[in-house]
Amino acid sequence: MSLTTSEELFVRKQQSVEVWQVIPLILAAALLTVGLAMFLSGTHNLVDVVQPVIVVFGGALAGLLLTFSTTHISQALQLALVRGVRGGTAPAEMIRALLKICDVSRRDGLLGVAEVRSNSEQVEEICSLIGDASDDETLRFALERRIAGEKRNHQMTTDVFLFTAIYAVLIGMLGTLLLYVTPTDSALDGTTFLPFVCGVSLAILMSILIGRLRAAHLRELVIAEIAYRGAVYILEDNNVQRLRGRLSLLVPPGLRR
């Protein structure tokens, strides 16, 4: 009996990132914040921007640590790197995996599908359900559980970056207010508003990241539906060509490639 290997059923993992790998993401956010703040404020002296950026980043980090657990923040950073930066999983990857599973079911039967191994936990669960000849109710329950878990993870992740944006703006406003009310001999200039500009700059970057995470979340919901509906189709009719056509209809036009 042939066994499909993980290379043949490759689907990009979602949580295969070490914590240290998010350090470049944080450094990139800091550098982009500095550049954006200098551009928006018209400041040419880098030294003037560094202090407000440190205050905004430090204050936002302190606020996050008081709001969320370190495990929560770590998981959010990992998911941001996998989905927000790398793009996450594409529906075409899941369709290719299901077509190979369908081919295995034709060649080796349901027992052959049950022995399939993949780097994707979702693919292995689908293979297990097909191998057990699960009924529609069991597959529907598995799909609902997967979608509920995906929505929960997405909400927990976006909350971290949403609060980061809120804290950054509030701390920037506080820093600008303190500079404004502090009596100095120098006239009011662009450096007074640098903390607020730095906070807004970081908030803009967080908004971009949240948008990318939302797009990836919607893509994951489509992939989950493809996976479990594909299992239903394979159990009903394991014809590869018909399966490809039926699964392709589940992909919205914006996600086709």
Domain ranges for the chain, please list them.
19-251
CB 29 within 8 A of CB 205: yes
Cα separation of 216 and 72, whole Å? 19
Burial track 60-88 (b if 16+ CB lie within 10 A, e otherwise): beebbeeebeeeebebbbbbbbbbbeeeb
Q: Tell me how crowded residue 45 is: count the other CB atoms within 10 A of its CB.
A: 9
- Can you give the pLDDT at residue 9? 53
Give the chain's count of helices (H) and strands (E).
Answer: 8, 0
Residue written as token pair 């927990």: 156
CB 113 within 8 A of CB 127: yes
Cα separation of 65 and 68, whole Å? 6
- Can you give the pLDDT at residue 183? 62
Residue 157: strand, helix, or coil: helix
Q: What is the pLDDT of residues 85-113, one digit of tens each?
A: 666 678 888 888 899 988 888 888 888 88
Q: What is the pLDDT of residues 1-45, one digit of tens each?
A: 333 444 445 444 444 445 566 677 677 777 777 777 777 667 777
Residue written as token pair 């992740």: 157
Q: Please give the angle made by the CA atoms of 30, 156 and 27, to the nearest 5 degrees.
A: 15
Supply the DSSP symbol for 7: T
Low-confidence ranges of the chain (pLDDT < 50): 1-8, 10-17, 185
Question: Can you give the pTM of this predicted structure?
Answer: 0.79
Cα separation of 100 and 109, whole Å? 13
Question: φ and ψ at 40, to 5 degrees?
Answer: -70, -35
| Amino acid, single-letter form, for residue 187 | A
Residue positions counted in the chain: 257
Burial class of residue 257 in the structure, from the number of CB atoms within 10 Å of its CB (0-12 exposed, 13-18 middle, 19+ buried): exposed
- Can you give the pLDDT at residue 186? 53
- Can you give the pLDDT at residue 3? 37
